[in-house]
Structure 1
Amino acid sequence: MLNKSIKFLIENKLVAVILLALFVGWGIVNAPFNWETGILPTDPVAVDAIPDIGENQQIVFTKWQGRSPQDIEDQITYPLTTSLLGIPGVKTIRSSSMFGFSSIYIIFEEDVEFYWSRSRILEKLNSLPANLLPDGVNPALGPDATGLGQIFWYTLEGRDKDGNVTGGWDPQELRSIQDYYVKYGLSSASGVSEVASIGGYVQEYQVDVDPEKMRQYNIGLTDIVKAVKESNQDIGAQTLEINQAEYLVRGLGYVKSVTDIENAVVSSENFTSIRIKDIANVHLGPQTRRGILDKEGAEVVGG
């Protein structure tokens, strides 16, 4: 068959030249260099600068704050690893237990479809026995992208009205802008799987308790934690009808300032309320995540 094709092209040179021109034109149209010929249309093939040659794997991440690596290994990593071994198509499982979290890398065979493996892992995690993991521990499946899918890094910088870089921007302000505005805008873009924020300060309210006053009022830390939680919620009620019109009754209780936390009632004694400000000092305090940076940065991962 090959010899007949070669003989046909040798005897019919015009057909050979036409086929050659078609192949060259098709190559120019799909070349990844975005050439502008002015005649032929351009449809360049996407080429990765760093091809993803990693293994077909999924990551199961579990947090258990304040626990040692040995506790993480015994109560989270080992039970999860033995349960996930039964998933079809699993080649091997690797795990690591660090302070406060566990990472399990599930490597599948190359012929296993990527999103099929994710659905099997989710089914397995949803069917785990109720007493397999400690209370309050929920394993989560990692994003549908690998480390080689990173698109770009960027930083948020304060600028004046002329667009020049200027100081005066607190790292907490930049982190809030990143988490509540920039991150959501980039996450809605096509092909973006995850936007991971790095650095900056995460705003938080800090309650510094006074042990001596807690002892005097016979109040424990659990009572303070419960008071803060219960004071930071909205409560819905029924309706109130006035002049043939119904009005919704709501109890607004979300924390919006330090004063709201200070006025939260912990307990009462002799008909006198004991508030958090009586036994603790409440103030705004930034929390660092993955280091402290002068600029707020992030990485965008493509799916």
Structure 2
Amino acid sequence: MRRRGGLIGFFVHHRVAANLVMLVMLLGGALGIARMNIQFFPTFALDVVSVRVVWSGASAEDIEQGITNPLEQRLRSLDGLKRMTSTSAQGIANITLEFREGTDPVLALDDVRQQVDSFTNLPADAETPEVSRLARYEPVARLLVHGDLAPHELRQMAQRFEDELLLAGIDRVEITGLPAQQISIEVPVERLQGMGLSLGDIAGRVEGMSRDLPAGLLGQRDSARELRSLQQRRDALGFEDLPILSGDRVQLRLGDIATIRQEPRDGQVELAYRGRPAAELVLQRAESGNSLAAARVLAGWVEETRPTLPPSVELEVYDESWQLIDDRISLLLLNGASGLLLVVILLYFFLPARVALWVAIGIPTAFMAALARMLHRVSQKSSDARLGGDKRDLGWSLAVF
């Protein structure tokens, strides 16, 4: 009997080889599913860095001449820079830098920071430039904390919950509903006159003694260490200990002559639920995170935290975006299983049972091979991006629409 040649003939006469190929396809697909990032939209990189400089009281023309134009001249020579746009408005300058596809975002951010830090001709009254990389986050759920609590107690509890969630594995937590705080310092005129001081002297003392400033480097090369003054006060108690007058015997602190309060700013909107103070925590995941994994972290944290709360405090989870992803994945699996069952039933009508079974097995095997191929393509793009190729790592994700 003459054997049929070609690839099909080879597998017909070598069944073990066919089974091994099928096993490799299934294992590759399983590996692809394990590394798949489940989210609403495909992963895409934002190769954008923003530079922001505040110069209070300066006009737009002064901002452009003193900050925007000099910084643009320095940043124009960055490697991989694709486009640079700037905005000069009253009191603020914004520069947005877009880099070419495949540029390492961490190195690009470091290059921008080095160029900005080396620029020493900023106006004396301008604030320290803020350099940041634009990042994309997706919502996971919202957490509402409300109860019979004083405003400062609610703030402390919300901040504690934020720290616990971040430590548990949530990528980002934003607190809303709490009014912005300000520290007010009130000094009676009689005390100022008695000490021979003016309000400007007190303001200058507060500004000079409550600042975080770099103080140069200590050592050389690998042993160099940065020196920095960390004296900025961040709460009312810190300002109370601020020295105002120092002598041989007497040391006068700001708390001895002034009333210092930390209170909400005027015109702030406070969140309330059922007539009680409330705070909202917005839980988000990073672009490379997993919504379902973040949901499991949240569920475990809520289960552990609720029993420890006072009776008057309630914790509610709502707007759970991860449930939409879970529902759509369940619908996708249900439709796939139903379609496969119908295909198997139809195959049994026209083919022998054994042949119909192997044809049915070939359908999910082909899907698994496609997932393995996608994983290989993504890994190849990542390698090209690390080697400096002009390709973007789109990530490996299941986009659920």
Answer yes or no: same fold by TM over 0.5: yes
Distance 2:162 2:201 in 1: 36
CA 1:255 to 1:108, structure 2 compared with 1: closer, same or farther past 3 Å?
A: closer
Distance 1:221 1:152, change over 3 A: farther
Tell me which amino acid in the other structure corresponds to 1:168. Answer: L
Distance 1:65 1:48, change over 3 A: farther
Distance 2:280 2:87 in 1: 29
Q: 1:125 and 2:116 equivalent?
A: yes
The match for 1:37 is none
Once residues 107 and 76 of structure 1 are traced to their aligned partners in structure 2, the CA distance between those partners, rounded to angstroms, is 19
Q: Distance in 2 between matches of 1:263 and 1:229?
A: 11
Q: TM-score, normalized by length of structure 2?
A: 0.48
Q: Distance in 2 between matches of 1:150 and 1:176?
A: 26
**Counterpart for residue 246 of structure 1:** none
Counterpart secondary structure, 2:122 = coil
Q: CA deviation at 1:107?
A: 0.6
In structure 2, the CA distance between the partners of 1:137 and 1:284, relative to structure 1 (3 Å rule), is: closer
Alignment-derived partner of residue 140 in structure 2: 152
Distance 2:62 2:50 in 1: 20
Partner amino acid, structure 2, of 1:122: R
> Offset of 1:201 from its aligned partner?
2.9
Supply the distance in 2 between the matched residues of 1:132 and 1:260 (Cα, whole angstroms): 29
Task: Give the root-mean-square deviation of aligned CA atoms.
Answer: 4.6
Structure with the higher fraction of residues in strand conformation: 1
Please point out which of 76, 87, 104 is paired with 1:96: 87
Q: 1:151 to 1:138 in 2, by over 3 A?
A: same
- How many residue pairs are counted as aligned between the two chains? 251
Helix, strand or coil: the match of 1:123?
Answer: helix
Instruction: Report sequence identity in percent.
Output: 20
Alpha-carbon contact 1:200-1:288 (below 8 Å) kept: no
**1:168 counterpart = 2:126:** no
* Greater length-normalized contact order (CA 8 Å, ≥ 6 residues apart): 2
Q: Distance in 1 between matches of 2:156 and 2:88?
A: 31
C-alpha displacement of 1:287: 3.5
How far is 1:91 from its partner?
A: 0.5
Q: Which residue pairs with 2:11 in the alignment? A: 12
In structure 2, runs of 5+ residues without a counterpart are: 212-232, 247-251, 273-278, 289-401
Between the aligned partners of 1:45 and 1:111, the Cα distance in structure 2 is: 21
Asked if 2 retains the 8 angstrom alpha-carbon contact of 1:196 and 1:298, the reply is: yes
Q: Is the 8 A contact 1:205 1:258 kept in 2?
A: no
Of 190, 205, 208, which aligns to 2:183? 205
Query: Matches of residues 245-260 of structure 1 in structure 2 within 5 Å?
Result: none
List aligned pairs for 1:181-260, cutoff 5 A.
181-188=160-167, 192=171, 195-208=173-186, 220-228=198-206
8 A Cα contact 1:175 1:296, kept in partner: no
Q: Is the 8 A contact 2:52 2:131 kept in 1?
A: yes
Tell me the residue number matched to 1:297: 281
**Residue type of the partner of 1:126?**
D
User: Hey, what's the Cα distance between the residues in 2 that align with 1:84 and 1:92?
Assistant: 11
The residue matched to 1:30 in structure 2 has which SS?
A: helix
1:38 alignment counterpart: none
Deviation sequence 1:216-269 (CA, Å, 0-9, x none): 998544312134457879xxxxxxxxxxxxxxxxxxxx89867974997579xx
Distance 1:259 1:83, change over 3 A: closer
Listed one character per residue, the Cα deviations across residues 36-70 of structure 1 (whole Å, up to 9, x for unaligned) are xxxxxxx3522332223354222223344555555
Deviations 1:86-119 (A, max 9, x none): 1111011123345654432211111322222122
Match runs of 1:256-275 below 5 Å: 261=240
8 Å Cα contact 2:50/2:95 also seen in 1: yes
Please say if residues 209 and 242 of structure 2, whose CA atoms lie closer than 8 Å, have aligned partners that are also in contact. Answer: no
